[in-house]
Amino acid sequence: MVNRVAVLVFLACYFVVVINGSGGALTLSSSKLIHRYSEEAKALWVSRSGNVDVKWPKKNSLEYLELLVRNDLMKKKKKTQNMKLVNHYDLLFPSHGSQTLFFGDDLAWLHYTWIDIGTPNVSFMVALDAGSDLLWVPCDCINCAPFSATYYNNTMLDRDLSEYNPSLSNTSKNLPCSHHLCKLGTNCKGPKEPCPYIVDYSSANTSTSGFLVEDKLHLASVSNHATKNHVQASVILGCGRIQSGSYLNGAAPDGVMGLGLGDISVPSLLAKAGLIQNSFSICFDENDSGRILFGDEVFATQQSTPFLPSAGKYGDYYVGLEHYCVGSFCLKLTQFQALVDSGTSFTYLPTEVYEKIVFEFDKQVNATRIHLQDSTFEYCYNASSQELHSIPSMRLMFTMNRSYLIHNPLLTDSENQAFSNFCLTLLQTDGEYGIIGQNFMKGYRLVFDRENLKLGWSKSNCQDINGNQAQLKPPSNDGSPNPLPTTEQQSIPNTHAVPPAVAKRASSNSSVAVPQQIPSWLGLMISLVLLVFCLPVT
């Protein structure tokens, strides 16, 4: 314990390895350890300060030990404060509760959650989009989707949607053009003007535009350290005055919460503020509901695969797939990169890969292929109830032989008890990368570990945390209404499916590279340093 208490002024012996640029020679240097309260340290102090009357504690005296213990306590206190700053809350979730909602074709096959913004708080049902960054809501509208619940009569909405008015929130303030997160600041007439924004999405002619505002997002906490249930976090959101395309036709009529890697996204702002670890999880279950948690982390029993940089930087959640398996057969030459995106309705594959997959699926399936007029999907079938049980499974294979079973790659519409129509929910894209959409995410707890740049997954019913059952509901004194009910099993859509919330940040021609490894010479150099460091000093 005495050795742990002792505070060292310098390292006992350190060795610096210097690579000579011309000859690559190694040189070693060393330095002597001096104890903080030794006679030698006192002599150095006197020689530098010129003060010969310096008070110095006698070795092993009570004063000597008290000084050492006091110093250790100060270091421990500082370390604890820093740890609390890094992870103030274990988990955060929207103040309405962590539940997500799914309405199928009625609201563009996206997943939603209720959030509260501003003071007094106003509720919005926002779509969850891991493919973009900005949180935006309809605001001071010039061109927005309808707010009346009766307009969305098939969704079982029990109340109208909301419109945000920054002037009615006591905690809102415009983000100035001079702010470092204002991307269009060069278009402003002055630095104090409200920062304009415009975001274009991959769906045809789909966009949102307006100006940026800073306000409070209302959250609830789950933590071993925090005593408060309510958390108000400062976030930057878009006051969406003009929407176009899919946002006027049923997709995200009340706004979008971007969950991407950009500095302006909600996970980024919460982590930078020290409220949570830099990660979040989403879980979509088979019953059309689910959960979102900020600060959730990959745990030991989960499988994982690294995120990959695009065009040299980590801007989106790209992963690399080694193989695509149909039944027990894993197809060769099906390596591709894919964006993991909850804001895309279905899963898209590069054309070459898509053609191999659907050909193999069609060969293995024991059902009659049919053509459904105006259907989004090419490969649809009519099958008896017995034939439905023999549909070949599908798996994604990542690096290190990590397996990801697709729980339900089909969309089924029962004609009667004896026969059903079903379609394989795969679409093709002309780009070089694919998109893993929300339909392939169901049945998994997906952890977007942004700190360690990896995606973790494990089978889940969306009711557990690290294997323990948990009901993450709003605090008991929260005045928020109950979460909305979800819809029944959806039928096969007759309209074209679109990925309404995938922001156009990465070109389809962007190259995706595997993270670089440490060079072998650097590993050898580090090993030599550690070896020399452990040698006794004579």
DSSP states of 253-284 as a string? TT-EEE-SSSTTSHHHHHHHTTSS-SEEEEEE
Higher pLDDT, 4 or 31: 31
Buried-state track 284-293, b at ≥16 Cβ within 10 A, e below 16? bbeebbbbbb
Give the whole-angstrom CA distance, residue 223 versus residue 465.
13
pLDDT digits 0-9 by tens, 262-315: 999 999 999 999 999 999 999 999 888 899 999 999 988 899 999 999 889 999
pLDDT of residue 472 exceeding 70, the answer is: no
- Give the number of other Cβ atoms within 10 Å of residue 151's Cβ: 14
Closest CA to 399 of 277, 305, 496: 305
- Give the number of other Cβ atoms within 10 Å of residue 331's Cβ: 15
- List 90, 129, 296, 316, catalytic entry: 129
Q: Is 320 helix (H, G, I), strand (E, B) or coil?
A: strand
Residue 110's H or E segment, with its range, is none
**Strands 329-331, 256-258: pairing kind:** unpaired
Higher pLDDT, 494 or 317: 317
117: left (phi over 0), alpha (psi -120 to 50) or beta: beta
Closest CA to 294 of 128, 438, 134, 137: 128
DSSP E strands in 98-229: the ranges are: 99-102, 111-117, 122-129, 135-143, 173-174, 196-200, 207-222
Higher pLDDT, 393 or 157: 393
| DSSP, res 201 | B
Give the whole-angstrom CA distance, residue 101 versus residue 482.
12
pLDDT digits 0-9 by tens, 7-18: 333 333 333 333
Is 129 tagged catalytic? yes
As a whole number, mean pLDDT of residues 506-529 equals: 37
pLDDT digits 0-9 by tens, 66-107: 565 556 555 544 544 444 445 578 899 999 999 999 998 889
Buried-state track 137-149, b at ≥16 Cβ within 10 A, e below 16? bbbebeebbebee
The pairs formed by 369-373 with CB atoms below 8 angstroms and a separation of 24 or more are 370/421, 372/421, 372/423, 372/492, 372/494, 373/494
Dihedral of the alpha carbons of 196, 201, 205, 206, in degrees to the nearest 10: -70
pLDDT of residue 4 exceeding 60, the answer is: no
Closest CA to 429 of 253, 94, 203: 203
pLDDT of residue 337 exceeding 90, the answer is: yes
Is 341 tagged catalytic? yes
- Give the number of other Cβ atoms within 10 Å of residue 36's Cβ: 15
pLDDT of residue 21 exceeding 50, the answer is: no
| Residue in this structure with the two tokens 């005495």, named with its chain if needed | 2
**Between the CA of residue 340 and those of 132, 197, 282, 401, what are the distances in Å?**
11, 25, 12, 18
Rg (CA), the chain: 29
pLDDT of the residue at 488: 29
C-alpha 42: how far from chain center: 53
pTM of the model: 0.74
| Residue in this structure with the two tokens 């707890």, named with its chain if needed | 445
Cα angle 297, 484, 96; round to 5: 45
Give the strands of the sheet with 380-384, arranged side by side.
368-370, 380-384, 419-424, 410-414
pLDDT of the residue at 52: 62
Q: Which one-letter amino acid corresponds to residue 145?
A: A
Cα angle 513, 202, 376; round to 5: 105
**Largest pairwise CA distance in the chain:** 100
pLDDT of the residue at 495: 37
C-alpha 367: how far from chain center: 39
Give the whole-angstrom CA distance, residue 329 versus residue 354.
15
Closest CA to 438 of 465, 406, 394: 406
| Residue in this structure with the two tokens 């409200």, named with its chain if needed | 194
**Count, residues in the chain:** 538
Q: Is 304 helix (H, G, I), strand (E, B) or coil?
A: strand
Assess contact for 213 and 173: CB atoms under 8 A. Answer: yes
- List 90, 288, 296, 341, catalytic entry: 341
Both tokens of residue 490? Answer: 């959806």
pLDDT of residue 241 exceeding 60, the answer is: yes
Instruction: Provide the CB-side half-sphere exposure for 88 (13 A, CA).
Output: 15
Both tokens of residue 313? Answer: 């930087």
pLDDT digits 0-9 by tens, 122-137: 999 999 999 999 999 9
pLDDT band of 261, cuts 50, 70, 90: very high
Give the whole-angstrom CA distance, residue 276 versus residue 448.
13
- Residue 60 has phi, psi (to 5 degrees) of 65, 10
User: How high is the mean pLDDT of the chain?
Assistant: 79
pLDDT band of 508, cuts 50, 70, 90: very low
pLDDT band of 478, cuts 50, 70, 90: very low
pLDDT digits 0-9 by tens, 28-68: 445 566 666 677 777 776 777 666 666 767 765 656 555 65
- Give the number of other Cβ atoms within 10 Å of residue 473's Cβ: 16
Give the whole-angstrom CA distance, residue 227 versus residue 9.
39
